[in-house]
Structure 1
Amino acid sequence: MIHKILVVEDDVVFCKLLTRFLSKKEFVTNDAQKASDAYALMESNQYDLAILDYRLPGENGLEILKKIKKEYPDMKVILISRFGDTETADEAKSLGAEAYVSKPINPDELLEVIHSLK
């Protein structure tokens, strides 16, 4: 069951909206705007799910996904991106992402995806 979520999104306004929405839905959330901050949070917290934006400063979401699956194999990952191309979605899933969601995100649809993860 998903309880604690890490949101990694460089758009601060969207990130705060998403974490606020998830918090209101009874999830415990933390957020980061870049990979290094996300890694620091993962070292000091145990997350059930990471929601990763594809385009981030420094490392992209796929690079963070690779590290998560290597170091935190039980953590679920949803990759989000404005670029709804199937190539990125296929790569994300081949690297172990449980889902790929295109922006703009419908919060209720994202919630359905989160609830579908076991």
Structure 2
Amino acid sequence: MERLSVLIIEDDGQLAEVLARFLRRQGFEVETATEAGMALQKMFARVFDIVLSDIRLPDRSGIEVLQEIKRAFPQTIVLMMTAFSSIDSAVEAVRLGADDYLSKPLQLDDVKMRIERALERRRLQARVADLQQQLTERYRFGNIIGKSKPMQELFRILERVARSSATVLIVGRTGTGKELVARAIHYNSPRANGPFVDINCGALPAELLESELFGHVRGAFTGATESRPGLFEVAHGGTLFLDEVDALKPDLQVKLLRALQEKVIRRVGGRENIPVDVRIIAATT
């Protein structure tokens, strides 16, 4: 397996050498730079997997170096090194894209742990992106069976609908693939990276359905020993699919309408309005 490469940007030559020797023993390929200009020259000559940079450098701010690296090489892991007195700057660096920060004086075991943690986080992100791509491929409109003219027209409509933010009602007999269409709309929409949450409104009693959709606060009813978010909150940033929406009682329809119009919900027994960003796709026979 190819060794991961590390660039250390540190004007303290002794510290840089100690770090370099330690990381080489861990199996990394390591280069060092004593100032920002030299570091950026090396970065543009070859892409490094990991950068360890001091937050204060002789020629430029480490924050500026971070921003330039992230603009040009967004996949590079960057860990900022800082003295205790500059912790606020380190926190700002993380806000601007650094993967983590290390406090001086450095503890080599801590350096190793934080690098491993950043690598694991990056592997998980890559895995999530891969799974997301698989879902998108699985629910491409072309994967829905149907070659007749009416089906081809339906696909064109679905593509237009997916790109919009409109609330959707799917009508069809049981077994005709309403949920498949709903998922296809979601995974071909700008919300594809958000959650897709589904519920069968006809499968729960009305008193449970309200809590399931909107959540509840502690003590709202017998057995409500703790507050719990509803599916509107769980689906925030994504899509909520309401199957058998015609089973909703009139009072729940009013609450649903308010959520659609005002983009806020209120948990059962609660007084606080909670903003939600959810697209509704509903289905009925």
TM-score (norm 2): 0.40
Question: Which residue of 1 is the match for residue 6 of structure 2?
Answer: 5
Deviations 1:41-81 (A, max 9, x none): 10111111100001110102111001011111111100001
Question: In 1, are the aligned partners of 2:70 and 2:76 still within 8 Å (CA)?
Answer: yes
Question: In 2, are the aligned partners of 1:9 and 1:31 still within 8 Å (CA)?
Answer: yes
What is the RMSD computed on CA atoms of the aligned residues? 1.3
Aligned pair in 2 of structure 1 residues 25, 75: CA closer, same or farther (>3 Å)? same
TM superposition shift of 1:90: 1.9
Aligned partners of 1:116, 1:98: CA distance in 2, in Å?
10
The answer to whether structure 1 residue 59 and structure 2 residue 55 are counterparts is: no
* Structure 2 residues without counterparts, runs of 5 or longer: 123-285
Aligned pair in 2 of structure 1 residues 86, 15: CA closer, same or farther (>3 Å)? closer
Aligned partners of 2:113, 2:85: CA distance in 1, in Å?
19
Amino acid at match of 2:54: D
Aligned partners of 1:7, 1:84: CA distance in 2, in Å?
21
Aligned partners of 2:35, 2:103: CA distance in 1, in Å?
19
Amino acid at match of 1:51: L
Aligned 1:61-76 pairs, distance under 5 A = 61-76=62-77
Question: In 2, are the aligned partners of 1:9 and 1:53 still within 8 Å (CA)?
Answer: yes
Deviations 1:10-48 (A, max 9, x none): 000110110111001100011000011001110111111
TM superposition shift of 1:94: 1.0
Count of equivalent residues: 117
2:78 is paired with a residue whose SS is: strand
- Of structures 1 and 2, the one with the larger relative CO (CA 8 A, separation 6+) is 1
The answer to whether structure 1 residue 23 and structure 2 residue 24 are counterparts is: yes
TM superposition shift of 1:105: 0.6
Aligned partners of 1:43, 1:110: CA distance in 2, in Å?
25
TM superposition shift of 1:83: 3.2
Aligned partners of 2:100, 2:64: CA distance in 1, in Å?
16
2:20 is paired with a residue whose SS is: helix
Question: In 1, are the aligned partners of 2:55 and 2:90 still within 8 Å (CA)?
Answer: no
Q: Quick one: percent identity of the two aligned structures? A: 32
Question: Which residue of 1 is the match for residue 179 of structure 2?
Answer: none
Question: Which residue of 2 is the match for residue 43 of structure 1?
Answer: 44
Moved over 3 A (4+): 83-86
1:73 is paired with a residue whose SS is: coil
Aligned partners of 1:18, 1:86: CA distance in 2, in Å?
21
TM superposition shift of 1:84: 4.5
Question: In 2, are the aligned partners of 1:8 and 1:34 still within 8 Å (CA)?
Answer: yes
Question: Which residue of 1 is the match for residue 95 of structure 2?
Answer: 94
Structure 1 or 2, whichever has the larger Rg, is 2
